[in-house]
Every structure is written in structure tokens, then in C-alpha cells.
Structure 1
């Protein structure tokens, strides 16, 4: 039975989010999320590789044997990562230098290889591509939220150096949220990434628990109401 597009969307963005639930790809997630532009740059690169690799894996899923399946998947991901790396060198070279080794390491990102093996190799090209999009967006949203939070807490500003990604049009996108802010160094240091990610995971778990309790209370009310109606109907009859 094919997975519906709605279920794919919910899994990628919330229920099976790579950054908050699967906890995959944490090395780039934590290593590059000290600013919004860094996080967004890596998020876009990862999402593009996810979409294209899922589509390619789905196309060849019936043409490769189990013996060479994983090596073939890795070769596809590596080739696509190289393309992204060359594009960034051509159009966003300064950002490429800042992100450094984390761009080539997309090849070994567990999220990408995991989706290729668990989903793309078992589904049609359209569903595999959409799964890559949703997983990429879900992973990217976590990246950007962590990056924006750390940048705001660390510098008191948002969208600094966005021209590194979008060119001269973004030179004036910087927003100063706190005037005369002294800065919070811990937020932009590596421990800050762990703290913000931990808070995001805790927030998601709390929302899930609250929603589950709310649904359970509604079911209880509906059940008791139905029982009362049955009893009243029995008395009247």
C-alpha cells in the first residue's frame, strides 16, 4: 500500500522529523547553526541533494541488485553533493568557505542515505521526490530555527550577512533586535547548539503529549455522552 502524500508531509515535517525525532545528521545540524545564513545555506544544499538522490534511487531501484545497492546509492549521493559543492563555489563562494567541510560531508549524512534505503528504494519517483522534499524542509526548518535563535541570543541581531547567500539584494536584510546588546557568547559556541536543540526537542515532546491528552479527553467525553444517550433511550423504551 502506497504512503499518502499527506502522511509523507506529516512525517517529514513533524512525526518523523530528521532533526527532532530521528536525530540524524546532527554533526552539520549543530556545527553550522551559529547563524541564520549558515543554517539556511546548508539547509538548501541538503534539501536539494535529498530530493535529487531520492528521485535517482527510485529510478534505478529495480535495476540494481542487493549486492551493489548501497554502493550505488552512495555514488549517486556523492555525485549530487559534488554538483552542489561546485555550484556553491561558483555563486556563493564566501559562504562555501564558511561552511567548509560540512558541504562535502553531505555525502555521509545519515538522513540522505537513510531515506534512500528506507523510502526511495521502495516507492515511485514522485513519492520518493516528495519525501525528499518534506524531509529536507523538516531538517532545514530545524536548522534555521536553531541558527536564528543562536544568532539572536548571541548577537542581538537577525539575518546578518544574508548577502553571502542571496547576493547584493540582501545586503540590508539585517535586523537589529536588541540595541546596545552585550552578546551572549555561549549561544554561538558549540554548547549553545546542544542547548537550543534540546529545548526544541522538549518543546516538540510537550506539544505531542498535550495533543495526545487533549484527544484522549475528547474521546472520553464523547464516550460518556454516548453511554448516557444509550441509558436514556433504554429508559424511554
Structure 2
């Protein structure tokens, strides 16, 4: 398949959407990421995306889930520039620079791992507190949970930045689930921390708010498991829309 032939498969008006990468042509017609032949308002189907992949937030493993339909022949053909029809060149260049910075420092991945680990640690300390209700376990539980909640706020900000820079706020299932779960976890955490601030002895009592306080510490564990699962799905999964 030549570049000219490839350009006919632009995903418009019911036509299939094909893209090429390293001389292999893939059918992305059924992908939610290529609706109407457009990807993140930056790329269009019917093109060779080999050069553009250097700015992508994912590896070339994403192509493994798509059907190979042809090999691309570029011999004696002038390669057209990558089309980015809906944004100005300055905006594209700025976003690509920010994406490169993100790929270099991974702010969301770095910030997200701390609250996940701390939520597990807080739950473990709370179990120890139930076994032996002494101050060291109570304080360990509280400060681990407090730290997890504060780091969670940072992770949300970094995650929203990642969502914008890498996916242009596309409403993909894993991203939406991660956002709602992170907000739920943080809100629960802030409420529980507020209860402890207002009553430092709340963990020792038997009232309803005490039950809620301990429940909050444990309910965040499955929540961060969900966050980790969908984070891994985004990073390694080939079918992000599942």
C-alpha cells in the first residue's frame, strides 16, 4: 500500500480508518480513540504515524491489538507532513514539549505510588491497633492515613495534568473510573482526618463516628487497588476502552 492509497482510509463518511507505523498498516476503525478518523484532535487516519509516535504517551505496543491490513511502501514517494488539523502549530509544539517533560519526570506515576502504599500501611496499622489499642499503633494509623490523603491530592492534580497532556481529556473508561475513585478516596480521607483533628481520641471510642473513622481507613484499600489496576491498564493494556 502506498501513502496515496493509505490516505483514502481516513475514517470519514463510513470509510475504514487505517494508520501506518514502521511500514505496517493497521486498521483502527473500531477503536474509540479513532472516532471519525481523528485521534485526540491531533492526528487523523490515513497517515504514517511513525514520526508522531516519538511524542506519544504510550509505547508502540498499542498497535498489537489492531489488525494488520498491509505493508506500507514509501519508495519514491514524498512523505507528507503529519496532519494535525484542529490545532495551531504553536499549540501542538507546546503540548509536545510538555508531553516530553511528562515522559521524562512522570509526575503522576511518582505521586500516585505514595498514597497507594500509605493507604495499605494505614490499614495494617489499624489492624494492629484493634489487636493492641495502644498509642503507637493509633498514631501510626492516623499519620499514615493523613499522608496518604495529602499525597492523594497531589496525585489527582498530576493525574488530571496527565489526562490532558496525554489524552486531551478523552472520556475513556479507565481514566474516568480512576478520576471518580481518586475523588472518592480523597473525600473519604479528608472527612476521616477532620474527625481525628476534632477529636484525637476518636479511634478509642465506640460511637458511630468512630466506626466511620475506622471504616474510612479500610474502604480506601480496595479503592486504591482499583486505581492501581486501571493505572496498569492504561500503561500496559492494549485495549484501553475495555
Name the TM-score, length of structure 1 as normaliser.
Answer: 0.26
- Larger radius of gyration between Structure 1 and Structure 2: 2
- Higher relative contact order structure (alpha carbons within 8 Å, sequence separation ≥ 6): 1
Structure having the higher strand fraction is: 2
| TM-score, scaled relative to structure 2 | 0.26
